[in-house]
């Protein structure tokens, strides 16, 4: 499968009415097929940046291109919000299909199978656990655009066992599909387990404090390596790549 798209981000100014800039002179290039973590405390601008990349928010000065096309003209990315956002009157299959009229029942079922829900296509959201609802949201993103996935704090409010399960699922999807994945997180362990590259954001307007490349592929990191990466992200990291 061809890798996901490359992105070029050049934001001269992004602000909300009456507020100071949230992003200014922000530049970032992302190579195809990479898994990039946007890592910072809450309130720095990670979610806003994802919405700009998705073309949902076009009110900024600058440019964002996806494989050379303006973000709002590129194929919509697969987007996972901080909560599942499932429609309670639709089954899991139909929640996936609700993302786009182009998604067939067969495509929806295939996406649900990829996230381990092959037997739950006709289940209603109220009958699904919190972790299963997150999987449906991920299946919806995969069905929308399996080449570019944007994940906004996808593990928030999940218990440790469910987080570990989602980590394994997303790592496997990225490794087997070659998708470009950009995810926002304020948890060091999320970045240390999943990312091939970590962009740490600081200040406001948001700036790139560190741009780090992890040497070991996500699926080949032992617990000691993950713990070391997480510790460095939690306590402050050097400018050089972590290895």
Q: List pLDDT tens digits, range 26-66.
A: 999 999 999 999 999 888 999 999 999 999 999 999 999 99
**What does the pLDDT read at residue 1?**
60
What does the pLDDT read at residue 240? 44
The confidence band for 239, taking pLDDT boundaries of 50, 70 and 90, is very low
Q: What is the pLDDT of residues 65-111, one digit of tens each?
A: 999 999 999 999 999 998 999 999 999 999 999 999 999 999 999 99
| pLDDT digit string, tens, across residues 108-148 | 999 999 999 999 999 999 999 999 999 999 999 999 999 99
What is the pLDDT at residue 204? 85
Tokens matching residue 194: 């999943």
Q: pLDDT tens digit string along 173-227?
A: 888 889 999 999 999 999 999 999 999 999 889 999 999 888 777 777 888 988 8
Average pLDDT value for the chain: 91
pLDDT of residue 243: 45
């Amino acid at each position: 499968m061809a890798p996901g798209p490359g992105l070029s981000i050049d934001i001269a100014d992004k602000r909300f009415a009456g507020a100071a800039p949230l992003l200014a002179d922000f530049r970032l290039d992302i190579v195809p097929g990479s898994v990039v973590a946007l890592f910072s405390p809450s309130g720095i601008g990670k979610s806003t940046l994802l919405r700009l990349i998705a073309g949902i928010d076009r009110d900024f000065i600058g440019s964002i291109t996806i494989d050379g096309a303006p973000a709002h003209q590129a194929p919509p990315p697969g987007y996972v919000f901080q909560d599942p956002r499932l429609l309670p009157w639709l089954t899991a299959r139909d929640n996936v299909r609700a993302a786009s009229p182009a998604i067939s029942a067969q495509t929806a079922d295939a996406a649900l199978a990829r996230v381990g829900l092959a037997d739950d296509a006709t289940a209603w959201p109220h009958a699904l656990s919190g972790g299963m609802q997150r999987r449906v949201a991920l299946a919806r993103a995969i069905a929308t655009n399996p080449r570019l996935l944007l994940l906004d704090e996808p593990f928030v409010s999940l218990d440790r066992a469910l987080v570990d399960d989602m980590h394994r699922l997303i790592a496997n999807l990225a490794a087997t599909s070659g998708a470009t994945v950009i995810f926002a997180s304020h948890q060091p362990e999320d970045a240390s387990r999943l990312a091939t590259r970590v962009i740490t954001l600081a200040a406001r307007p948001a700036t790139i404090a560190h741009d780090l490349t992890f040497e070991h592929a996500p699926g080949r990191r032992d617990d000691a390596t993950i713990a070391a990466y997480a510790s460095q992200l939690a306590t402050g990291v050097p400018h050089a790549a972590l290895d």
